[in-house]
Amino acid sequence: MLNLGQEDLRGDDVIRRSFAIDPWANTMSLGCPSCPHFVECGGLHVEAPLLDCQDLCCNRPETCSRVCRNNPQKFVAQRREIGGFDLNETPRAPQRPSNLRSDVVELIYHRSRRQTPLREPTVALRLADIVDYSCGRAKFSSRLEMCENFRIDPSCNIILTGVDHDHRIEPWWSLSNARIPIIRTLSRLGIALVSTPNFSLLVDSPRTDDIYSMKRIAINFAEFQQEGISCALHPNGRAVRDFERWAEFIAMRPEVSTLSYEFITGSGLSARRQIHLDGLINIARTAGRHLDIVVRGDPKVIPILMPHYREIIYIDTTAYMKAQKRFLAERTANDGLAWNHLYTEPGAAIDHILQKNIEEQREFLKAKYFGKSLHSNRAA
Protein backbone atom coordinates (compact mmCIF):
# COMPACT_ATOMS: atom_id res chain seq x y z
CA MET A 1 0.00 0.00 0.00
CA LEU A 2 1.18 3.50 -0.83
CA ASN A 3 1.23 5.12 2.59
CA LEU A 4 1.05 8.87 1.99
CA GLY A 5 -0.70 11.30 4.29
CA GLN A 6 -3.14 13.81 2.83
CA GLU A 7 -0.86 16.74 3.59
CA ASP A 8 2.03 14.99 1.81
CA LEU A 9 -0.08 14.45 -1.30
CA ARG A 10 -1.09 18.07 -1.50
CA GLY A 11 2.46 19.28 -1.03
CA ASP A 12 4.02 17.19 -3.77
CA ASP A 13 2.89 18.18 -7.27
CA VAL A 14 4.90 15.39 -8.86
CA ILE A 15 3.10 12.74 -6.84
CA ARG A 16 -0.25 14.39 -7.52
CA ARG A 17 0.39 14.34 -11.27
CA SER A 18 1.12 10.63 -11.01
CA PHE A 19 -2.48 10.16 -9.79
CA ALA A 20 -3.98 11.73 -12.94
CA ILE A 21 -6.19 9.23 -14.78
CA ASP A 22 -4.96 8.60 -18.33
CA PRO A 23 -6.16 5.34 -19.97
CA TRP A 24 -4.01 5.99 -23.05
CA ALA A 25 -0.74 6.19 -21.10
CA ASN A 26 -1.31 3.83 -18.16
CA THR A 27 -2.68 0.36 -17.59
CA MET A 28 -5.51 -0.24 -15.14
CA SER A 29 -4.62 -0.83 -11.50
CA LEU A 30 -4.80 -4.54 -10.68
CA GLY A 31 -7.34 -4.25 -7.88
CA CYS A 32 -9.93 -2.27 -9.86
CA PRO A 33 -11.89 -5.00 -11.72
CA SER A 34 -12.96 -6.64 -8.44
CA CYS A 35 -14.09 -3.37 -6.84
CA PRO A 36 -17.84 -3.11 -6.12
CA HIS A 37 -17.80 0.39 -7.63
CA PHE A 38 -16.03 -0.54 -10.84
CA VAL A 39 -19.12 0.12 -13.01
CA GLU A 40 -19.41 3.69 -11.75
CA CYS A 41 -15.65 4.36 -11.65
CA GLY A 42 -14.27 2.57 -14.71
CA GLY A 43 -11.00 1.83 -12.91
CA LEU A 44 -7.81 3.73 -12.25
CA HIS A 45 -5.31 4.27 -15.07
CA VAL A 46 -2.57 6.14 -13.22
CA GLU A 47 1.20 6.27 -13.22
CA ALA A 48 1.47 5.78 -9.44
CA PRO A 49 1.91 2.19 -8.21
CA LEU A 50 -1.58 1.79 -6.70
CA LEU A 51 -3.40 -1.51 -6.22
CA ASP A 52 -6.65 0.46 -6.25
CA CYS A 53 -7.93 3.82 -5.01
CA GLN A 54 -8.12 2.59 -1.42
CA ASP A 55 -4.35 3.07 -1.36
CA LEU A 56 -5.18 6.78 -1.25
CA CYS A 57 -6.96 6.40 2.09
CA CYS A 58 -5.47 8.72 4.72
CA ASN A 59 -6.04 6.13 7.50
CA ARG A 60 -7.44 8.83 9.77
CA PRO A 61 -11.18 8.04 9.79
CA GLU A 62 -11.82 10.06 12.95
CA THR A 63 -10.93 13.35 11.17
CA CYS A 64 -11.38 12.54 7.48
CA SER A 65 -14.39 13.94 5.60
CA ARG A 66 -13.83 11.94 2.40
CA VAL A 67 -16.21 9.25 1.18
CA CYS A 68 -14.17 6.12 1.83
CA ARG A 69 -15.03 2.46 2.47
CA ASN A 70 -12.37 2.31 5.19
CA ASN A 71 -14.72 4.37 7.33
CA PRO A 72 -17.74 2.06 6.95
CA GLN A 73 -20.22 3.73 9.28
CA LYS A 74 -19.72 7.16 7.74
CA PHE A 75 -19.53 5.68 4.24
CA VAL A 76 -22.96 4.10 4.59
CA ALA A 77 -24.44 7.38 5.89
CA GLN A 78 -22.91 9.38 3.04
CA ARG A 79 -24.19 6.95 0.45
CA ARG A 80 -27.69 6.99 1.93
CA GLU A 81 -27.59 10.79 1.99
CA ILE A 82 -27.46 10.91 -1.82
CA GLY A 83 -29.68 7.88 -2.45
CA GLY A 84 -26.85 5.72 -3.78
CA PHE A 85 -24.21 6.35 -6.42
CA ASP A 86 -26.43 5.70 -9.46
CA LEU A 87 -27.03 8.96 -11.34
CA ASN A 88 -30.23 7.52 -12.78
CA GLU A 89 -31.73 7.55 -9.28
CA THR A 90 -31.62 11.36 -9.27
CA PRO A 91 -35.16 12.83 -8.97
CA ARG A 92 -36.68 14.01 -12.23
CA ALA A 93 -37.30 17.71 -12.85
CA PRO A 94 -39.37 19.80 -15.28
CA GLN A 95 -37.84 21.31 -18.39
CA ARG A 96 -36.83 24.95 -17.85
CA PRO A 97 -34.72 26.29 -20.76
CA SER A 98 -33.16 29.67 -20.01
CA ASN A 99 -33.24 31.02 -23.60
CA LEU A 100 -30.35 33.40 -22.81
CA ARG A 101 -28.48 34.66 -25.87
CA SER A 102 -25.50 36.56 -24.43
CA ASP A 103 -22.08 35.53 -25.75
CA VAL A 104 -19.94 37.26 -23.09
CA VAL A 105 -21.19 38.05 -19.57
CA GLU A 106 -19.20 39.85 -16.88
CA LEU A 107 -18.95 38.45 -13.35
CA ILE A 108 -19.60 41.18 -10.78
CA TYR A 109 -18.05 40.58 -7.36
CA HIS A 110 -19.24 43.65 -5.45
CA ARG A 111 -20.18 47.33 -5.85
CA SER A 112 -17.00 48.88 -4.43
CA ARG A 113 -16.01 52.23 -6.00
CA ARG A 114 -19.09 52.36 -8.21
CA GLN A 115 -21.85 54.94 -7.95
CA THR A 116 -24.34 54.08 -10.71
CA PRO A 117 -26.01 50.77 -11.57
CA LEU A 118 -24.22 48.83 -14.29
CA ARG A 119 -26.48 48.45 -17.32
CA GLU A 120 -25.80 45.24 -19.21
CA PRO A 121 -28.16 42.76 -20.91
CA THR A 122 -26.85 39.98 -18.64
CA VAL A 123 -24.48 39.89 -15.67
CA ALA A 124 -23.19 37.04 -13.51
CA LEU A 125 -23.01 36.87 -9.73
CA ARG A 126 -21.56 34.16 -7.51
CA LEU A 127 -24.03 31.86 -5.78
CA ALA A 128 -22.02 32.03 -2.56
CA ASP A 129 -22.40 35.85 -2.52
CA ILE A 130 -26.20 35.55 -2.49
CA VAL A 131 -26.50 33.05 0.37
CA ASP A 132 -25.93 33.58 4.08
CA TYR A 133 -24.59 30.16 5.06
CA SER A 134 -24.44 30.93 8.78
CA CYS A 135 -28.16 31.73 8.91
CA GLY A 136 -29.27 29.28 6.21
CA ARG A 137 -31.13 31.82 4.08
CA ALA A 138 -30.76 34.12 1.08
CA LYS A 139 -29.10 37.44 1.84
CA PHE A 140 -31.73 39.45 -0.06
CA SER A 141 -35.51 39.48 0.11
CA SER A 142 -36.12 41.53 -3.03
CA ARG A 143 -34.61 41.94 -6.47
CA LEU A 144 -34.11 45.67 -5.93
CA GLU A 145 -32.17 45.01 -2.73
CA MET A 146 -29.95 42.46 -4.46
CA CYS A 147 -29.30 44.69 -7.48
CA GLU A 148 -28.51 47.68 -5.28
CA ASN A 149 -26.02 45.59 -3.31
CA PHE A 150 -24.06 44.83 -6.51
CA ARG A 151 -24.83 48.14 -8.28
CA ILE A 152 -26.46 46.48 -11.27
CA ASP A 153 -29.56 47.58 -13.14
CA PRO A 154 -32.67 45.61 -12.07
CA SER A 155 -33.52 45.00 -15.73
CA CYS A 156 -30.38 42.86 -16.21
CA ASN A 157 -30.70 39.13 -16.69
CA ILE A 158 -28.82 37.51 -13.83
CA ILE A 159 -26.79 34.30 -13.95
CA LEU A 160 -25.66 32.78 -10.66
CA THR A 161 -22.49 30.75 -11.05
CA GLY A 162 -21.80 27.88 -8.67
CA VAL A 163 -18.18 27.63 -9.82
CA ASP A 164 -16.09 28.56 -6.80
CA HIS A 165 -13.51 27.39 -4.29
CA ASP A 166 -14.45 24.40 -2.16
CA HIS A 167 -14.81 26.40 1.03
CA ARG A 168 -17.46 28.56 -0.70
CA ILE A 169 -19.54 25.79 -2.26
CA GLU A 170 -19.37 22.90 0.22
CA PRO A 171 -21.50 24.89 2.71
CA TRP A 172 -24.27 24.94 0.09
CA TRP A 173 -24.61 21.17 0.39
CA SER A 174 -24.43 21.27 4.18
CA LEU A 175 -27.53 23.51 4.24
CA SER A 176 -29.53 20.32 3.67
CA ASN A 177 -33.26 21.09 4.20
CA ALA A 178 -32.63 24.84 4.01
CA ARG A 179 -31.61 24.64 0.33
CA ILE A 180 -35.18 24.41 -0.96
CA PRO A 181 -36.47 27.55 0.82
CA ILE A 182 -33.37 29.42 -0.39
CA ILE A 183 -33.95 28.29 -3.99
CA ARG A 184 -37.56 29.46 -3.75
CA THR A 185 -36.33 32.87 -2.65
CA LEU A 186 -33.84 32.96 -5.53
CA SER A 187 -36.69 32.15 -7.90
CA ARG A 188 -38.65 35.14 -6.54
CA LEU A 189 -35.56 37.30 -7.12
CA GLY A 190 -35.90 36.54 -10.82
CA ILE A 191 -32.67 34.62 -11.41
CA ALA A 192 -32.51 33.73 -15.12
CA LEU A 193 -30.03 30.84 -14.80
CA VAL A 194 -27.97 29.20 -12.08
CA SER A 195 -25.14 26.71 -12.51
CA THR A 196 -24.73 23.87 -10.05
CA PRO A 197 -21.80 24.03 -7.62
CA ASN A 198 -18.77 22.30 -9.15
CA PHE A 199 -18.08 19.97 -6.23
CA SER A 200 -14.47 18.86 -6.55
CA LEU A 201 -13.19 15.54 -7.85
CA LEU A 202 -9.78 15.12 -6.22
CA VAL A 203 -6.84 13.11 -7.58
CA ASP A 204 -5.60 12.12 -4.13
CA SER A 205 -8.81 10.64 -2.70
CA PRO A 206 -10.63 7.32 -3.16
CA ARG A 207 -12.79 7.37 -6.28
CA THR A 208 -15.92 6.90 -4.17
CA ASP A 209 -15.44 10.53 -3.14
CA ASP A 210 -15.57 11.57 -6.81
CA ILE A 211 -18.71 9.53 -7.44
CA TYR A 212 -20.34 11.09 -4.37
CA SER A 213 -19.60 14.60 -5.67
CA MET A 214 -21.05 13.77 -9.09
CA LYS A 215 -24.30 12.58 -7.55
CA ARG A 216 -24.52 15.72 -5.42
CA ILE A 217 -24.20 17.84 -8.57
CA ALA A 218 -27.06 15.91 -10.19
CA ILE A 219 -29.25 16.30 -7.08
CA ASN A 220 -28.60 20.04 -6.92
CA PHE A 221 -29.57 20.37 -10.59
CA ALA A 222 -32.89 18.66 -9.91
CA GLU A 223 -33.56 20.82 -6.85
CA PHE A 224 -33.07 24.10 -8.72
CA GLN A 225 -35.29 23.10 -11.62
CA GLN A 226 -37.98 21.60 -9.40
CA GLU A 227 -38.25 24.93 -7.59
CA GLY A 228 -38.55 27.09 -10.68
CA ILE A 229 -35.04 28.15 -11.73
CA SER A 230 -33.40 27.17 -15.00
CA CYS A 231 -30.20 25.33 -14.10
CA ALA A 232 -26.97 24.60 -15.94
CA LEU A 233 -25.65 21.16 -14.99
CA HIS A 234 -21.90 21.07 -14.29
CA PRO A 235 -20.82 17.55 -15.42
CA ASN A 236 -17.61 17.53 -13.41
CA GLY A 237 -15.33 14.61 -14.24
CA ARG A 238 -11.72 13.52 -14.27
CA ALA A 239 -11.95 10.13 -15.97
CA VAL A 240 -13.38 8.92 -19.27
CA ARG A 241 -15.95 6.86 -17.38
CA ASP A 242 -17.14 9.97 -15.51
CA PHE A 243 -18.02 11.69 -18.79
CA GLU A 244 -19.59 8.51 -20.16
CA ARG A 245 -21.90 8.39 -17.15
CA TRP A 246 -22.81 12.04 -17.58
CA ALA A 247 -23.49 11.47 -21.29
CA GLU A 248 -25.82 8.56 -20.46
CA PHE A 249 -27.57 10.62 -17.80
CA ILE A 250 -28.05 13.71 -19.96
CA ALA A 251 -29.26 11.70 -22.97
CA MET A 252 -32.07 10.30 -20.81
CA ARG A 253 -32.94 13.66 -19.20
CA PRO A 254 -34.56 16.15 -21.58
CA GLU A 255 -34.82 18.57 -18.65
CA VAL A 256 -31.06 19.15 -19.07
CA SER A 257 -30.78 21.88 -21.70
CA THR A 258 -27.74 23.81 -20.48
CA LEU A 259 -24.37 22.70 -19.16
CA SER A 260 -21.72 24.59 -17.22
CA TYR A 261 -17.99 23.94 -17.14
CA GLU A 262 -14.89 25.66 -15.78
CA PHE A 263 -11.44 25.58 -17.32
CA ILE A 264 -9.63 27.21 -14.41
CA THR A 265 -8.12 24.54 -12.15
CA GLY A 266 -7.33 20.95 -13.18
CA SER A 267 -9.39 21.15 -16.35
CA GLY A 268 -7.54 24.34 -17.29
CA LEU A 269 -4.13 22.65 -17.34
CA SER A 270 -2.91 22.04 -20.87
CA ALA A 271 -2.03 18.42 -20.08
CA ARG A 272 -5.58 17.68 -18.86
CA ARG A 273 -7.71 20.03 -20.96
CA GLN A 274 -8.30 17.62 -23.84
CA ILE A 275 -9.89 14.89 -21.74
CA HIS A 276 -12.43 17.43 -20.48
CA LEU A 277 -13.08 18.80 -23.96
CA ASP A 278 -13.50 15.29 -25.36
CA GLY A 279 -15.94 14.51 -22.57
CA LEU A 280 -18.04 17.60 -23.26
CA ILE A 281 -18.03 16.94 -27.01
CA ASN A 282 -19.15 13.36 -26.41
CA ILE A 283 -21.97 14.57 -24.14
CA ALA A 284 -23.20 16.92 -26.88
CA ARG A 285 -23.04 14.17 -29.52
CA THR A 286 -24.80 11.64 -27.32
CA ALA A 287 -27.58 13.93 -26.11
CA GLY A 288 -29.70 13.60 -29.24
CA ARG A 289 -30.76 17.25 -28.94
CA HIS A 290 -29.23 20.73 -28.90
CA LEU A 291 -27.47 21.82 -25.71
CA ASP A 292 -26.15 25.19 -24.54
CA ILE A 293 -23.10 25.63 -22.30
CA VAL A 294 -21.79 28.26 -19.88
CA VAL A 295 -17.97 28.42 -19.78
CA ARG A 296 -15.59 29.96 -17.26
CA GLY A 297 -11.80 30.10 -17.44
CA ASP A 298 -9.67 29.65 -20.54
CA PRO A 299 -11.51 31.20 -23.54
CA LYS A 300 -9.40 29.14 -25.96
CA VAL A 301 -11.89 26.29 -25.52
CA ILE A 302 -14.74 28.33 -27.04
CA PRO A 303 -14.01 27.70 -30.75
CA ILE A 304 -13.44 24.00 -29.98
CA LEU A 305 -16.86 23.66 -28.36
CA MET A 306 -18.79 25.93 -30.74
CA PRO A 307 -19.49 23.31 -33.44
CA HIS A 308 -21.07 21.05 -30.81
CA TYR A 309 -23.19 23.43 -28.72
CA ARG A 310 -26.03 25.65 -29.88
CA GLU A 311 -25.14 28.60 -27.64
CA ILE A 312 -22.01 29.34 -25.61
CA ILE A 313 -22.07 31.88 -22.80
CA TYR A 314 -18.62 32.87 -21.58
CA ILE A 315 -18.41 34.33 -18.08
CA ASP A 316 -15.54 36.81 -18.01
CA THR A 317 -13.79 38.15 -14.91
CA THR A 318 -10.96 40.13 -16.52
CA ALA A 319 -12.83 43.36 -17.26
CA TYR A 320 -14.09 43.67 -13.69
CA MET A 321 -10.79 42.79 -11.99
CA LYS A 322 -8.83 45.13 -14.26
CA ALA A 323 -11.23 47.96 -13.43
CA GLN A 324 -10.77 47.36 -9.71
CA LYS A 325 -6.99 47.72 -10.23
CA ARG A 326 -7.49 50.86 -12.38
CA PHE A 327 -6.55 49.36 -15.72
CA LEU A 328 -8.44 50.61 -18.76
CA ALA A 329 -8.93 48.50 -21.90
CA GLU A 330 -7.73 50.00 -25.17
CA ARG A 331 -7.95 48.43 -28.61
CA THR A 332 -4.50 48.22 -30.22
CA ALA A 333 -5.50 46.72 -33.55
CA ASN A 334 -8.38 44.88 -35.13
CA ASP A 335 -7.84 41.96 -32.77
CA GLY A 336 -5.61 43.40 -30.03
CA LEU A 337 -6.35 44.67 -26.54
CA ALA A 338 -4.04 46.50 -24.15
CA TRP A 339 -4.56 47.31 -20.48
CA ASN A 340 -3.29 50.76 -19.56
CA HIS A 341 -2.93 51.79 -15.93
CA LEU A 342 -4.86 54.90 -14.87
CA TYR A 343 -3.97 57.06 -11.90
CA THR A 344 -7.12 58.06 -10.04
CA GLU A 345 -7.80 60.05 -6.92
CA PRO A 346 -8.30 58.01 -3.72
CA GLY A 347 -11.93 56.94 -3.50
CA ALA A 348 -12.70 57.97 -7.08
CA ALA A 349 -15.53 56.13 -8.83
CA ILE A 350 -14.58 53.56 -11.47
CA ASP A 351 -17.97 53.24 -13.23
CA HIS A 352 -16.61 54.57 -16.55
CA ILE A 353 -13.59 52.26 -16.37
CA LEU A 354 -15.72 49.19 -15.75
CA GLN A 355 -18.19 50.01 -18.53
CA LYS A 356 -15.41 50.61 -21.07
CA ASN A 357 -13.57 47.45 -19.99
CA ILE A 358 -16.66 45.30 -20.36
CA GLU A 359 -17.44 46.69 -23.83
CA GLU A 360 -13.88 46.33 -25.13
CA GLN A 361 -13.30 42.91 -23.56
CA ARG A 362 -16.57 41.63 -24.99
CA GLU A 363 -15.70 42.78 -28.50
CA PHE A 364 -12.17 41.38 -28.16
CA LEU A 365 -13.40 37.96 -27.03
CA LYS A 366 -16.12 37.81 -29.66
CA ALA A 367 -13.68 38.65 -32.44
CA LYS A 368 -10.92 36.32 -31.24
CA TYR A 369 -12.88 33.29 -30.03
CA PHE A 370 -16.48 33.59 -31.25
CA GLY A 371 -15.48 35.12 -34.65
CA LYS A 372 -18.29 35.72 -37.13
CA SER A 373 -16.91 33.06 -39.45
CA LEU A 374 -17.25 30.54 -36.64
CA HIS A 375 -20.92 31.32 -35.97
CA SER A 376 -21.87 29.41 -39.10
CA ASN A 377 -20.33 26.28 -37.58
CA ARG A 378 -22.62 26.28 -34.55
CA ALA A 379 -25.21 23.57 -34.09
CA ALA A 380 -28.38 24.94 -35.71
**Comparing 98-102, 279-283, 289-293, which segment has the lowest mean pLDDT?**
98-102
Q: Where exactly are the structural domains of the chain?
A: 1-64, 88-317
Rounded to two decimals, the pTM is 0.92
Contact 60, 191 (CB under 8 A): no
- Rounded to whole angstroms, the Cα distance separating 377 from 310 reads 10
pLDDT tens figures, 72-90:
999 999 999 999 999 999 9
Average pLDDT over residues 325-344: 91
SS3 per residue for 99-118: CCCCCEEEECCCCCCCCCCE
Q: How confident is the model at residue 1 (pLDDT cuts 50, 70, 90)?
A: very low
pLDDT grade, residue 378 (50/70/90)? very low
40 three-class SS: helix
Q: Tell me which H or E stretch contains 327.
A: strand 327-333
Pick the CATH number of 88-317 from 1.10.357.10, 3.50.50.100, 3.20.20.105, 3.40.50.12280: 3.20.20.105
* Exposed/middle/buried for residue 113 (C-beta within 10 Å: 0-12, 13-18, 19+): middle
Closest by CA position to 56, among listed 105, 119, 10, 125: 10
The β-bridge relationship of strands 327-333 and 336-341 is antiparallel
Region of 190 on the Ramachandran plot (φ > 0 left; ψ -120 to 50 alpha; else beta): left
User: Taking the CB of residue 354, how many other CB atoms lie within 10 A of it?
Assistant: 22
Q: What is residue 17's predicted lDDT score, i.e. its pLDDT?
A: 78
| 150 phi and psi angles, rounded to 5 deg | -105, 5
